[in-house]
């Protein structure tokens, strides 16, 4: 393993593979469509490599799209890992200049209870140290507050408060960040295979030759030759390594599950820090148009494609925040999301004490396979730097000397090149000002392309998702230009269906638009939207309150009434029944509904009662 800055071990066989590389389909295969994978694909493409990127699920499907949505400097790491704080802050600054539209300021409040008044000066000094990093990311210096000032700023705070500290962080939409990187890479010539899983990484005589892949939608497989493969699959990294017949432990991570709870609106003006019962720092943050509580950090041994929060985890967080901000108990939860961090592996440490550093494994050194690399660890805030380090290494290995320097900190991400006035955009296109503001947030200057669609076809200015809101033109845009293949993918890119109604009003329509855009039959649309609705329901039901439970019951009833809930039939045995007449149908159904306490024939029911 090499940490950034360490000399890279030289491996024999490099020059031999260089000539073979000429005949390969691509110069580099990147596996993983998270922020690291898309970051590497973009950087490498901009430096002239021919790149193919494979993503098994969707861009930002894992940790990148399920993080706290901040590129924070990590004051948490300052005492143990100041290097992490420095690089995070520095790279945050870069991200801010290449994608200014995706960032929003999140001021934090750290309430200090009476019991901790003695260490208040210490905390103050700590944040004074953090202030030194703030200019790197255009953050404001911290401020000290009295207990009264604290409650004035955030009237929902409770407890015996001695005072507080404010500090400054930046919020970001991780999903949009990945998509922006992927789109830029694609426009510069990279080939993207979203929804295709790599089945094998082939190497011969210690040199990477090709990857075999399969489109998980169509089931069609393929092979692409390449001299280099970067495994940027986050928590999936050891699985991916095993696809190259390497021991998984050579790309080992310490998978840490983190969940977040989402409320239907912004509950506070500031993000508020709190402590859990076991002394971990958590927070409630206003994020885009909702509030989010995060996060947990627990070792994870489950299915990486299917990570969901549980009631128990939700309660742990709500209990922690309720200590200082009890209103969360009565507030309306509209969903949860969960992801698994690919933290660097260490045995015997508590999850929170693990390093947030990143590292690159050169499998030439560890396994004798030249051209295969694994990216482990890392943070959203320093993804760009991590990608730059990865591509620097690739260039050195390819040329035997440093290649062209990275430009990813200078070149704007799509839409980040200039500012767009959302209000003027709303007037020009005759759309709602809030819809325009949200659109410009997500797409920056590229919102104009969506505007042009609406000029060409006025019907595309119709609202699909009322909660967010999302217009039809944006849905069509993300299907055509941002690799969205399902309603879930559209949600990840636009926040469609993630609002208070849980997609009940928009999933069917969105499914129809996606299917049309991709040339699929309408029944594919129906299945896709049903899958989305039931999947999202699973992320909501672990956090029900009285109102949410009623809404959920209505959602179930409404789905049953209009589409039927897609569960496997309890009547599977019916097929074995010989007769094919209606009497049998009714008998079969009668059987399955045997638990009914009252039958439709009221006379019969009386006997039963």
Partner 1 sequence: MAAESIDVAVVGAGAAGVATCWALVERGLSVRVFDGGLGATSLAGGAIDDRPWEELARAATTLRVEPLARPVGAEAARFVAALGLHRLGDEGASMPRVATPMGRFRIARGHDRALLDLSRLADGARVLVPRVPRAEWDADALARAWSADDYARARGFELVSMDAELTMHLGEARIASADLAALHDDDARVRWLGARLLELVAREGRADALLLGPWLGATHARAEALTQQVGVPVGEAMGEVGGAAGLRFEAARSRLFERIAVSLEREQVHAAHLDDAKVELTCESGATLRARAVVLAIGGVASGGIVFDPPERHAGRDAPSGVRAPFRTSLAAPVTLAAAGRVFDVGSSLFGPALEREAWPTDADPGLLECVGVACRGARVGARLFAAGDVIADRPRTFLEAASSGIVAADAVLGALRGR
Please report how close the Cβ of residue 278 comes to partner 1 at its closest, in angstroms: 15
CA pair distance 355, 16, nearest whole angstrom: 37
Please report how close the Cβ of residue 289 comes to partner 1 at its closest, in angstroms: 19
- Which range binds partner 1 by CB under 8 A, 285-293, 341-349, 474-482, 526-534? 526-534
Task: Give yes or no for residue 519 binding partner 1 (CB under 8 A).
Answer: no
Site for partner 1 in 348-387 (CB under 8 A): none
Task: Give yes or no for residue 122 binding partner 1 (CB under 8 A).
Answer: no
- Residue linked to tokens 């296109």: 429
CA pair distance 250, 447, nearest whole angstrom: 43
Site for partner 1 in 456-485 (CB under 8 A): 462-464, 466
Site string for partner 1, 527-556 (x = CB under 8 A): --xx---x--xx--xxxxxx--xx-xxx-x
Is the CB of 23 or the CB of 569 nearer to partner 1?
569
Please report how close the Cβ of residue 443 comes to partner 1 at its closest, in angstroms: 22
| 385, 391, 393, 394 alpha-carbon torsion, rounded to 10° | 170
Residue 243, phi then psi, degrees to nearest 5: -70, -15
Please report how close the Cβ of residue 545 comes to partner 1 at its closest, in angstroms: 6
Is the CB of 121 or the CB of 545 nearer to partner 1?
545
Query: Count of residues for the chain?
Result: 609
Is the CB of 115 or the CB of 466 nearer to partner 1?
466
Residue 218, phi then psi, degrees to nearest 5: -90, -20
Is the CB of 170 or the CB of 300 nearer to partner 1?
300
| Residue 100 DSSP one-character state | G
Is the CB of 7 or the CB of 564 nearer to partner 1?
564
Task: Give yes or no for residue 115 binding partner 1 (CB under 8 A).
Answer: no
Please report how close the Cβ of residue 217 comes to partner 1 at its closest, in angstroms: 19
Site for partner 1 in 490-509 (CB under 8 A): 504-505, 508-509
For the chain, the straight-line distance linking the first and the last C-alpha, in angstroms and rounded, comes to 72
Is the CB of 324 or the CB of 359 nearer to partner 1?
324
Site string for partner 1, 406-425 (x = CB under 8 A): --------------------
Which of 109, 308, 344, 415 is the binder for partner 1 (CB under 8 A)? Answer: 308
Binding-site size for partner 1 (CB under 8 A) equals 88
CA 50 to chain centroid, in Å, comes to: 26
Please report how close the Cβ of residue 108 comes to partner 1 at its closest, in angstroms: 21
- Residue linked to tokens 């993918």: 489
| Residue 228 DSSP one-character state | -
Is the CB of 395 or the CB of 525 nearer to partner 1?
525
Residues near 485 by beta carbon (within 8 Å), at least 6 away in sequence: 58, 194, 195, 217, 479, 514, 518
Is the CB of 179 or the CB of 318 nearer to partner 1?
318
CA pair distance 68, 288, nearest whole angstrom: 12
Question: Which pair of tokens denotes residue 564?
Answer: 């039927």
Spatial contact of 273 and 267, defined as CB atoms under 8 Å apart: no
Question: Which pair of tokens denotes residue 330?
Answer: 């009565």
Spatial contact of 138 and 91, defined as CB atoms under 8 Å apart: no
Is the CB of 132 or the CB of 538 nearer to partner 1?
538
Please report how close the Cβ of residue 508 comes to partner 1 at its closest, in angstroms: 5
Site for partner 1 in 159-218 (CB under 8 A): 159
Task: Give yes or no for residue 433 binding partner 1 (CB under 8 A).
Answer: no
Please report how close the Cβ of residue 40 comes to partner 1 at its closest, in angstroms: 35
Is the CB of 96 or the CB of 486 nearer to partner 1?
486
User: In the chain, what's the furthest Cα-to-Cα distance?
Assistant: 89
Spatial contact of 287 and 337, defined as CB atoms under 8 Å apart: no
Task: Give yes or no for residue 146 binding partner 1 (CB under 8 A).
Answer: no
Please report how close the Cβ of residue 26 comes to partner 1 at its closest, in angstroms: 38
Three-class DSSP category at 305: coil
Please report how close the Cβ of residue 539 comes to partner 1 at its closest, in angstroms: 9
CA pair distance 196, 124, nearest whole angstrom: 50
Is the CB of 242 or the CB of 599 nearer to partner 1?
599
Please report how close the Cβ of residue 272 comes to partner 1 at its closest, in angstroms: 14
Please report how close the Cβ of residue 547 comes to partner 1 at its closest, in angstroms: 9
CA pair distance 375, 395, nearest whole angstrom: 16
- Which range binds partner 1 by CB under 8 A, 69-77, 99-107, 191-199, 524-532? 524-532
Site for partner 1 in 564-583 (CB under 8 A): 564-565, 567-571, 574-575, 577, 580-582
CA pair distance 81, 551, nearest whole angstrom: 45
CA pair distance 56, 54, nearest whole angstrom: 7
Please report how close the Cβ of residue 308 comes to partner 1 at its closest, in angstroms: 7
Which of 270, 512, 518, 531 is the binder for partner 1 (CB under 8 A)? Answer: 512
Please report how close the Cβ of residue 598 comes to partner 1 at its closest, in angstroms: 4
Which of 278, 303, 306, 601 is the binder for partner 1 (CB under 8 A)? Answer: 601
Q: Give residue 447's region: left, alpha or beta (phi > 0; psi -120 to 50).
A: alpha
Is the CB of 12 or the CB of 562 nearer to partner 1?
562
CA pair distance 465, 479, nearest whole angstrom: 15
Respond yes or no on whether the N-terminal peptide bond of residue 33 is cis (omega within 30° of 0).
no
Is the CB of 19 or the CB of 561 nearer to partner 1?
561
- Residue linked to tokens 């404001």: 140
Site for partner 1 in 309-348 (CB under 8 A): 309-312, 315, 318-319, 322-323, 326, 329-330
Question: Which pair of tokens denotes residue 187?
Answer: 């426009």
Which of 20, 350, 410, 557 is the binder for partner 1 (CB under 8 A)? Answer: 557
User: 219: how many CB neighbours lie within 10 A of its CB?
Assistant: 7
- Which range binds partner 1 by CB under 8 A, 20-28, 54-62, 409-417, 596-604? 596-604
List C-alpha distances in Å: 117 to 112, 126, 163, 230.
7, 15, 8, 50
Please report how close the Cβ of residue 468 comes to partner 1 at its closest, in angstroms: 13
DSSP per-residue codes, 289-302:
TEEEEE---EE--S
CA pair distance 499, 514, nearest whole angstrom: 19
Residue 350, phi then psi, degrees to nearest 5: -70, 150
């Amino acid at each position: 393993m090499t940490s950034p800055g360490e000399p890279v071990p030289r491996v024999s066989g490099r020059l031999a593979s260089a000539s073979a590389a000429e005949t390969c389909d691509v110069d580099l295969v990147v596996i993983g469509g998270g922020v690291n994978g898309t970051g590497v694909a973009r950087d490498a493409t901009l430096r002239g490599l021919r790149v193919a990127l494979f993503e098994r699920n969707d861009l930002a499907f894992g940790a990148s799209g399920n993080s706290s949505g901040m590129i924070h400097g990590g004051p948490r790491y300052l005492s143990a890992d100041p290097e992490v704080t420095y690089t995070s802050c520095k790279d945050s600054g870069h991200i801010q200049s290449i994608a200014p539209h995706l960032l929003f300021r999140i001021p934090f409040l750290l309430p200090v209870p009476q019991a901790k008044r003695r260490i208040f000066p210490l905390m103050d000094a700590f944040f004074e140290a953090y202030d030194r990093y703030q200019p790197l990311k255009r953050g404001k210096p911290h401020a000290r507050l009295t207990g009264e000032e604290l409650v004035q700023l955030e009237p929902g705070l409770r407890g015996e408060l001695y005072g507080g500290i404010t500090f400054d962080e930046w919020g970001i939409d991780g999903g949009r960040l990945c998509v922006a990187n992927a789109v830029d890479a694609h426009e510069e010539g990279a080939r993207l295979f979203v929804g295709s899983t790599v089945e094998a990484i082939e190497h011969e005589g210690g040199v990477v030759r090709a990857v075999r892949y399969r489109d998980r939608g169509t089931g069609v497989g393929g092979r692409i030759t390449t001299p280099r493969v970067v495994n940027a699959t986050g928590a999936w990294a050891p699985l991916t390594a095993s696809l190259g017949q390497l021991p998984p432990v050579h790309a080992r991570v310490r998978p840490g599950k983190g969940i977040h709870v989402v409320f239907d609106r912004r509950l506070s003006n500031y993000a508020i820090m709190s402590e859990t019962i076991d002394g971990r720092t958590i927070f409630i943050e206003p994020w885009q148009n909702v509030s989010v509580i995060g996060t947990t950090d627990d070792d994870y041994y489950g299915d990486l494609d299917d990570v969901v929060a549980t009631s128990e985890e939700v309660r742990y967080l709500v209990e922690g925040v309720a200590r200082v901000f009890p209103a969360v108990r009565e507030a309306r939860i509209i969903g949860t999301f969960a992801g698994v961090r690919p933290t660097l592996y260490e045995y015997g440490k508590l999850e929170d004490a693990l390093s947030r550093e990143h590292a690159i494994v050169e499998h030439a050194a560890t396994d004798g396979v030249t051209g295969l690399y694994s990216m482990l660890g890392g943070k959203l805030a320093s993804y760009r730097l991590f990608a730059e380090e990865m591509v620097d290494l690739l260039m050195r290995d390819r040329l035997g000397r440093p290649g062209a320097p990275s430009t990813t900190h200078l070149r704007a991400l799509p839409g980040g090149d200039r500012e767009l006035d959302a209000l003027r955009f709303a007037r020009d296109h005759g759309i709602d000002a809030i819809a325009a503001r949200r659109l410009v947030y997500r797409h920056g200057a590229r919102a104009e392309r969506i505007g042009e669609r609406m000029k060409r076809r006025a019907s595309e200015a119709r609202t699909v998702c009322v909660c967010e809101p999302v217009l039809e033109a944006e849905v069509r845009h993300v299907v055509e230009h941002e690799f969205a293949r399902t309603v879930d993918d559209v949600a990840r890119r636009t926040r469609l269906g993630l609002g208070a109604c849980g997609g009940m009003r928009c999933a069917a329509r969105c499914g129809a638009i996606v299917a049309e855009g991709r040339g699929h039959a309408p029944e594919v649309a129906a299945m896709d939207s049903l899958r989305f609705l039931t999947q999202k329901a699973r992320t909501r039901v672990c956090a029900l309150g009285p109102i949410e439970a009623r809404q959920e019951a209505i959602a179930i009833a409404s789905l049953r009434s209009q589409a039927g809930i897609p569960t496997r039939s309890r009547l599977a045995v019916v097929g074995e029944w010989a007769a094919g007449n209606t009497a049998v149908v009714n008998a079969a159904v009668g059987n399955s509904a045997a638990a009914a306490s009252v039958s439709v024939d009221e006379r019969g029911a009386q006997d039963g009662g």
